[in-house]
Structure 1
Amino acid sequence: MFSKKNKMSKNNEVQPTAVNLICDGTSITGDIQASRDIRIDGFLNGKMKVNGKVVVGNTGKIQGDVHCKTIDVSGMVEGNIIASEMVNLKNTAVILGNITTDKISVEPGAKFTGTCKMGEPAPKKDEKK
């Protein structure tokens, strides 16, 4: 009896590879903080701080700054991107803002209006200069 309960509760636990998802047709106004990866296929009007990877799908749009480790953009970001590791701009990406990152990849067709500072890892929030 108890072993069956343990199996059930084990299946309901959040997996370490779980990804947060804001679906197409969903609109959020406000800031988001996430300790795990997140995918945006809807609309976010606010700042985003993620300890992992951010994916902005084809239908995704963010109006606000994004702080993360890595970001893959197929949709639109109107704001600054600070990625400590990598920025990937897919061919459908539209970026209106500045990018600070260690590495960047831009596919032909991506649109980027702003400045890019790279080559040095972006400062982490707990680092002091």
Structure 2
Amino acid sequence: MFNQKSKSENQVEQKPSAPSGQATIIAAGTTLKGDINSSGDIRIDGNLEGNIHCSAKVVIGSNGSVTGDIGGAQADIMGRVTGTIRVKELLQLKGGSQVQGNLHAAKLQIEPTANFNGQCHMTGSERPAGTATSNGLADKKTEKLAAQA
């Protein structure tokens, strides 16, 4: 009876987890060294020296800088990236962005003032027979048909 704590005092308060719709943000003025793994969206407005592994969308803001590889479902690049970018869906290089490295994406959109230096590999989409590959050569089937004609 005496000196007994009530049930509410013995219970640990449970804090709700972050909603799944929120993004992880590395703010301007922040420098992070190391890899980031996330199942939610990521936005980099600061500097990251490391790789990003994300199953959602990656956004590199206009003041953001990444030295490392980026992998995600989608990506919008407005800042600087030095490394390989692998995106399952749409990759957008926005105006003023600077990318030094190879791109792998199903869909690619590059605005006129974006700066890209590297190789581009389109993945996840089949090309019609007889169309040129990324190295400018027609596929072997088309070459055989042309030789027979």
TM-score range, shorter chain: 0.7 to 0.9
Query: Which position in structure 2 is the counterpart of 1:15?
Result: 19
With the length of structure 1 as denominator, give the TM-score of the two structures. 0.83
**Residue by residue, what CA displacement relative to the aligned partner does 1:38-58 show, whole Å, maximum 9, x if unpaired?**
000000000110010000001
- Partners of 2:124 and 2:16 lie apart in 1 by 41
Q: Which runs of 5+ in 1 are unaligned?
A: 1-8, 122-129
- Partners of 2:19 and 2:72 lie apart in 1 by 20
The answer to whether structure 1 residue 108 and structure 2 residue 108 are counterparts is no
In the TM superposition, what is the alpha-carbon distance from 1:72 to its structure 2 partner? 0.2
- Partners of 1:13 and 1:83 lie apart in 2 by 28
- The SS at the match of 1:17 is coil
Query: Which position in structure 2 is the counterpart of 1:90?
Result: 94
Identity of aligned residues (%): 35
In the TM superposition, what is the alpha-carbon distance from 1:27 to its structure 2 partner? 0.2
Q: Which runs of 5+ in 2 are unaligned?
A: 1-12, 126-149
Query: Which position in structure 2 is the counterpart of 1:75?
Result: 79
Query: Which position in structure 2 is the counterpart of 1:4?
Result: none
User: Equivalences for 1:43-54 in 2 at 5 Å?
Assistant: 43-54=47-58
Amino acid at match of 1:60: G
The answer to whether structure 1 residue 120 and structure 2 residue 120 are counterparts is no
- Partners of 1:29 and 1:63 lie apart in 2 by 10
Query: Which position in structure 1 is the counterpart of 2:8?
Result: none
With the length of structure 2 as denominator, give the TM-score of the two structures. 0.72
- Partners of 1:23 and 1:49 lie apart in 2 by 18
Amino acid at match of 2:26: I
- Partners of 1:119 and 1:48 lie apart in 2 by 19
Q: 1:10 to 1:90 in 2, by over 3 A?
A: farther
Q: 1:104 to 1:10 in 2, by over 3 A?
A: farther
- The SS at the match of 1:87 is strand
Amino acid at match of 2:63: T
Amino acid at match of 1:40: I
Amino acid at match of 1:32: I
Larger fraction in strand: 1
**Residue by residue, what CA displacement relative to the aligned partner does 1:29-80 show, whole Å, maximum 9, x if unpaired?**
1111011000000000001100100000010000000010100000010000
In the TM superposition, what is the alpha-carbon distance from 1:119 to its structure 2 partner? 4.3
